[in-house]
Chains A and B, each alone.
Chain A
Amino acid sequence: MRGIIAAGTHIPHYRLDRTEVAAFFGKGGGRGQRSVASYDEDTTTMGVAAARRALASTDLEPQELWFATASPAYLEKTNATAVHAALQLGPEVGALDFGGALRSGAGALRTALTAGVSTLVAAADQRGGLATSADEAAGGDGAAAVLIGDDTDGPVIAEYLGAGVATEEFLERWRLPGGDRSRAWEERFGEVTYGPLMSQAWERALAATSLSADDIDKLIVTGTHGRAVARNAKRLGVRDEAMIDDLSGSVGNTGTAHPLLVLSSALEQASPGETIAVMTLADGVEVIVLRTTDAISAVSPAMSTAGQIASGTTVSYGKFLSWRGMVSVEPPNRPLPNRPSASAAHRRDDWKFGFVGSRDRSSGMIHLPPARVSEKGGAVDDMEPVPMADTVGTVVSFTIDKLVYSPSPPVVFAVVDFDGGGRAPLELADCGPDEIEVGMRVLPTFRRLFTADEIHNYFWKVAPVRGVR
């Protein structure tokens, strides 16, 4: 049996209330909320967050890591290698980007399901457009990761039954490399063009799985063309109650990540024996069909998608625009940070990307960053690596620094003592200056500190522990 072994999602902590757009500009926006990546998040960091959640419930180390996004942090340089490093996967594990097109997330998922090796498929996107645009309101930021394998790799929670594909070349939505917004042809064209493609892919999927539309317990249809999704999905013949909320009201459409995100969310709420179909509209149509197994009952994520949606904090439209680089806000009058050194960073990949410290074997003292000589006892080169990324810590002292450079001042900063030993002074993520307090429980989170000289400086911050753990 092949299928999904684990899944995880990352929905950024911040939300934009869509009514704020019209309140500011007199037009645009809409109802509900969309998720907003914080200023220190990008598709790579969100991919790391989702992948960590997916791997939290399994001991399986995948043989491949595939990362899909239409908003890559780098071109030419593989972004999946940063995810790979943050997850501390072995060097024999492949890491590939599926980049550029919105279809690459659903395509990577289907390809992994039909491939012969265990594969972690992570997809992330940051969606938006010009101020007041429909894309700005309908888009969302987020990531999802799905671990695919055989039952010999670990318990399969959703068995892969089959797929259906329809491909056609037509210009419905596009963006030039480096462009600040997507363009779309008039709406009716997409609606009528997607209709037949949806039917074709659907029929192929049902034929491949020997199922009828009636057999489908849950149907997920996602795509950036809202009308094509809404109008045509009704014609697929599934029961009304099988239609799954696509999270467009609470999260927005997270592009490349969205089919994986809604699927992962659905799996968190699924019972054994449910047949789930996922249809993705993007330059044609992708359909996969899965059936949950008894192992689904054991799924109990530390932070569910619903929990993440419920625990968000709204951000003002002004801050949203500044985080997106659409409004320039006066920075503190301090020098810009220097670019990190590639060679210096490479020597400390495990620390910088994996948050791995060292523990002195004689004194037991944990050193963050890792050290060669022990602070206690002075033992030399007698340290073992100690991964800290999943260790909860406590804020023992903090400050708010309004003078220092930050992409979004002020800096909220804390001295953190980790459970079981180890201290590090770290920046807070997803935490306003009024929220922090001594005693707050925090977890490491992989973030982009800043970008200097076209180099993204990734490292770890800590974020408040929220929701059930």
Chain B
Amino acid sequence: MGSHGIKDQVAIIGMGCTPFTEHWDKSLDDLIIDAAQLTYASAGIHQDDIDAFWFGTSQSAASGLAMGGPLKIHGKPITRVENYCTTGSEAMRAAAYAVASGAYDVVMALGAEKVKDGGYQGLNAFPIPTDGTQRTLTAAGMFSLILPAYAKKYGVDEDEIRYSVATIAEKNHFNGARNPLAQFRRETSAEQICQMAAVAGRLSVFDCAGVADGAAAVIMCRAEDAHKYTDNALYVKALSFVAGTGAGSLDPDYDYTTLPECKWSADDAYAQAGVTSPRDEIAVAEVHDCFTPTELVLMEDLGFSDPGQAWRDVLDGAFRLDGRLPVNSDGGLKAFGHPVGASGLRMLYEIWLQLRGEAPEERRIADHGRKLGLVHNLGGYPGEMVSFVGIYGTELG
């Protein structure tokens, strides 16, 4: 028994990502078609060259038919995947394993979400019949529990923590302003964010991810076949996933200052990839900044900061484009919005661009000689979540 990973067995040979925005003029079908065409072009192959498909969507459709219909995929397997906000990453993970198993030569994972047809602001849960005793708080409300708990545990002034997480939003808006695919392309300051009205705990609307429609996709093949398609492939170093038990809502030992599922999936991913010092080996990370406190504690759970130090590292600029480990160089969920099924693959798209030197100059990370990029994607709430960590590299070995 063990988690062995599939290091260096699978190569990423093409990726595509639509703009993330309020696509009032595009349907789910349009988004699927656009992302697929961009990705086929990136890999330089035709749809018929792909042997199997995985389709990630959380609430926009229900089966593989929703992808096969608009793309007219004939006679091929299409699997719909759903796993909360990690849906896109899970589609990619399943597709990668299918290649690694030898079952298929070339596979595609596509994530798409049409959020803005719902008629309400924010993301809304799919109604499942229940006994009516489930908590009804918004995700913003649940993640807002982190700030007072973190301040208390580490003896940091609540105003200081509040300012620290506002600088996370400032950073991600700064990066998003340099990304033509991002929903929000205006810079804003931590001071402005701190002055905004609170909507959940001390969080303002600008501490929350935006709400957008979008789609992204990836095409993969066996690592040894990558040269047939590109000289510039990315290799899958680690794919880790952990689903919690909801222990944080049950167990008084949980203190809302850490996301254990994220830490476990990161530790597993580092082991799979052979990473021993993430701060020195990871060149760039895309993490799940659904709310600013989430990115704060993720810095610690992913090993980028020491426990209790992330708020200070954030203030010191450690995770800015010019910092020691750029995080969410594309603008993150903050600037992109969060079309649930697409987000995980959008994150991977930025790693694809950055590690291969294709990110536009105004947001390109400095070359520290590091060859690895990390994607972290979560779904759920503090104390009860699913977490994905993927690590990708430009070189085999």
Q: Tell me whether B41 is interfacial, beta carbon within 8 Å.
A: no
CB nearest to A334 among chain B residues = B120
Q: Give the residues in chain B near A351, CB-CB below 8 Å.
A: 131, 133
Given contacts A399-B144, A413-B137, 9 further A-B contacts (CB under 8 A): A334-B121, A345-B132, A348-B131, A365-B250, A400-B201, A401-B200, A403-B199, A404-B136, A458-B132
Q: Mark A368-409, 1 if CB is under 8 A from B, else 0.
A: 110000011000000000000000000011111111111000
Q: Tell me whether B102 is interfacial, beta carbon within 8 Å.
A: no
> How far, in whole Å, are A451 and B148 apart by their CA atoms in the complex?
32
Known: A335-B124, A340-B131, A411-B141. A402 touches B198 (CB 8 A): yes
- Structural contact, A375 and B120, CB atoms closer than 8 A: no
Within 122-179 of B, Cβ neighbours of A (below 8 Å) are at: 122, 124, 127, 129-133, 135-138, 140-142, 144-145, 148-149, 152
Q: Mark A416-434, 1 if CB is under 8 A from B, else 0.
A: 0100011111110000000
Q: Tell me whether B189 is interfacial, beta carbon within 8 Å.
A: no
> How far, in whole Å, are A203 and B83 apart by their CA atoms in the complex?
75
- Structural contact, B251 and A401, CB atoms closer than 8 A: no
CB nearest to B132 among chain A residues = A340
> How far, in whole Å, are A341 and B134 apart by their CA atoms in the complex?
12
Known: A348-B131, A367-B250, A424-B249. A400 touches B198 (CB 8 A): yes
- 4 tightest Cβ-Cβ pairs between the two chains A and B: A340-B132, A401-B141, A341-B129, A399-B201
Q: How many residues of B contact A (CB 8 A)?
A: 34
Q: Give the residues in chain B near A341, CB-CB below 8 Å.
A: 129-132
Q: Tell me whether A337 is interfacial, beta carbon within 8 Å.
A: yes
Choose among A334, A404, A422 the residue with the greatest number of B CB atoms under 10 Å from its CB. Answer: A404
Q: Tell me whether A115 is interfacial, beta carbon within 8 Å.
A: no
Q: Give the residues in chain B near A404, CB-CB below 8 Å.
A: 136-138, 141
Choose among A368, A376, A401 the residue with the greatest number of B CB atoms under 10 Å from its CB. Answer: A401
- Structural contact, B199 and A423, CB atoms closer than 8 A: no
- Structural contact, A423 and B131, CB atoms closer than 8 A: no
Residue in B129, B138, B256 whose beta carbon sits within 8 Å of that of A415 in the complex: B256
11 contacts between A and B (CB under 8 A): A375-B247, A375-B251, A397-B145, A399-B200, A401-B140, A403-B141, A405-B136, A413-B137, A422-B252, A425-B137, A425-B249
CB nearest to B152 among chain A residues = A438
CB nearest to B143 among chain A residues = A399
- Structural contact, B120 and A413, CB atoms closer than 8 A: no
- Structural contact, B149 and A397, CB atoms closer than 8 A: yes
- Structural contact, B145 and A415, CB atoms closer than 8 A: yes
Residue in A396, A401, A423 whose beta carbon sits within 8 Å of that of B137 in the complex: A401
B288 to chain A, nearest CB (A): 19
CB nearest to B124 among chain A residues = A335
B176 to chain A, nearest CB (A): 22
> How far, in whole Å, are A402 and B198 apart by their CA atoms in the complex?
8
A457 to chain B, nearest CB (A): 4
Choose among A369, A406, A423 the residue with the greatest number of B CB atoms under 10 Å from its CB. Answer: A423
A337 to chain B, nearest CB (A): 6
Q: Give the residues in chain A near B201, CB-CB below 8 Å.
A: 399-401
Within 191-244 of B, Cβ neighbours of A (below 8 Å) are at: 198-201
Q: Tell me whether A459 is interfacial, beta carbon within 8 Å.
A: yes
> How far, in whole Å, are A376 and B254 apart by their CA atoms in the complex?
13
> How far, in whole Å, are A458 and B135 apart by their CA atoms in the complex?
13
Choose among B121, B149, B250 the residue with the greatest number of A CB atoms under 10 Å from its CB. Answer: B250
Q: Give the residues in chain B near A344, CB-CB below 8 Å.
A: 129-132
Q: Give the residues in chain A near B124, CB-CB below 8 Å.
A: 334-335
Q: How many residue pairs bridge A and B at CB < 8 Å?
A: 119
Q: Mark B291-319, 1 if CB is under 8 A from A, else 0.
A: 00000000000000000000000000000
| SS of B interface (majority) | loop
Choose among A396, A406, A426, A449 the residue with the greatest number of B CB atoms under 10 Å from its CB. Answer: A396
Q: Tell me whether A210 is interfacial, beta carbon within 8 Å.
A: no
- Structural contact, A399 and B145, CB atoms closer than 8 A: yes
Known: A400-B198, A403-B199, A415-B256. A337 touches B133 (CB 8 A): no
> How far, in whole Å, are A345 and B133 apart by their CA atoms in the complex?
9
Q: Give the residues in chain B near A368, CB-CB below 8 Å.
A: 250
Q: Give the residues in chain B near A335, CB-CB below 8 Å.
A: 120, 124
Known: A400-B201, A403-B141. A425 touches B135 (CB 8 A): yes
- Structural contact, A348 and B133, CB atoms closer than 8 A: yes
Q: Give the residues in chain A near B198, CB-CB below 8 Å.
A: 400, 402
Q: Tell me whether B101 is interfacial, beta carbon within 8 Å.
A: no
Chain B interfacial positions (CB closer than 8 Å to A): 120-122, 124, 127, 129-133, 135-138, 140-142, 144-145, 148-149, 152, 198-201, 245, 247, 249-252, 254, 256
- Structural contact, B130 and A399, CB atoms closer than 8 A: no
- Structural contact, B120 and A423, CB atoms closer than 8 A: no
- Structural contact, B122 and A459, CB atoms closer than 8 A: no
> How far, in whole Å, are A337 and B149 apart by their CA atoms in the complex?
29
> How far, in whole Å, are A282 and B149 apart by their CA atoms in the complex?
56
Residue in A333, A399, A449 whose beta carbon sits within 8 Å of that of B141 in the complex: A399
> How far, in whole Å, are A333 and B137 apart by their CA atoms in the complex?
14
> How far, in whole Å, are A83 and B200 apart by their CA atoms in the complex?
34
Chain A interfacial positions (CB closer than 8 Å to B): 333-335, 337-341, 344-345, 347-348, 351-352, 365, 367-369, 375-376, 396-406, 411, 413, 415, 417, 421-427, 438, 449, 457-459
Q: Give the residues in chain A near B252, CB-CB below 8 Å.
A: 396, 417, 421-423
- Structural contact, A413 and B131, CB atoms closer than 8 A: no
A392 to chain B, nearest CB (A): 14
CB nearest to A369 among chain B residues = B133
> How far, in whole Å, are A449 and B133 apart by their CA atoms in the complex?
9
B201 to chain A, nearest CB (A): 4
Known: A338-B127, A345-B131, A348-B131. A333 touches B121 (CB 8 A): yes
Choose among B124, B137, B141 the residue with the greatest number of A CB atoms under 10 Å from its CB. Answer: B141
> How far, in whole Å, are A348 and B162 apart by their CA atoms in the complex?
40
> How far, in whole Å, are A402 and B204 apart by their CA atoms in the complex?
10
> How far, in whole Å, are A427 and B136 apart by their CA atoms in the complex?
9
> How far, in whole Å, are A340 and B140 apart by their CA atoms in the complex?
24
Q: Give the residues in chain A near B136, CB-CB below 8 Å.
A: 337, 404-406, 411, 427, 449
Q: Give the residues in chain A near B135, CB-CB below 8 Å.
A: 413, 425-426
CB nearest to B253 among chain A residues = A423
B338 to chain A, nearest CB (A): 15
CB nearest to B246 among chain A residues = A375
> How far, in whole Å, are A411 and B142 apart by their CA atoms in the complex?
12
B202 to chain A, nearest CB (A): 9
> How far, in whole Å, are A74 and B159 apart by their CA atoms in the complex?
48
> How far, in whole Å, are A365 and B247 apart by their CA atoms in the complex?
11
Choose among B120, B137, B152, B256 the residue with the greatest number of A CB atoms under 10 Å from its CB. Answer: B137
CB nearest to B136 among chain A residues = A404
- Structural contact, B249 and A403, CB atoms closer than 8 A: no
- Structural contact, A399 and B131, CB atoms closer than 8 A: no
A173 to chain B, nearest CB (A): 36
> How far, in whole Å, are A406 and B138 apart by their CA atoms in the complex?
11
Known: A368-B250, A438-B152, A459-B132. A402 touches B256 (CB 8 A): no
Q: Give the residues in chain A near B247, CB-CB below 8 Å.
A: 375
Known: A403-B140, A415-B256. A334 touches B133 (CB 8 A): no
CB nearest to A338 among chain B residues = B127
- Structural contact, B127 and A399, CB atoms closer than 8 A: no
Q: Give the residues in chain A near B129, CB-CB below 8 Å.
A: 338, 340-341, 344
> How far, in whole Å, are A425 and B136 apart by their CA atoms in the complex?
10
Q: Give the residues in chain A near B133, CB-CB below 8 Å.
A: 348, 351-352, 369, 459
Q: Give the residues in chain B near A348, CB-CB below 8 Å.
A: 131, 133
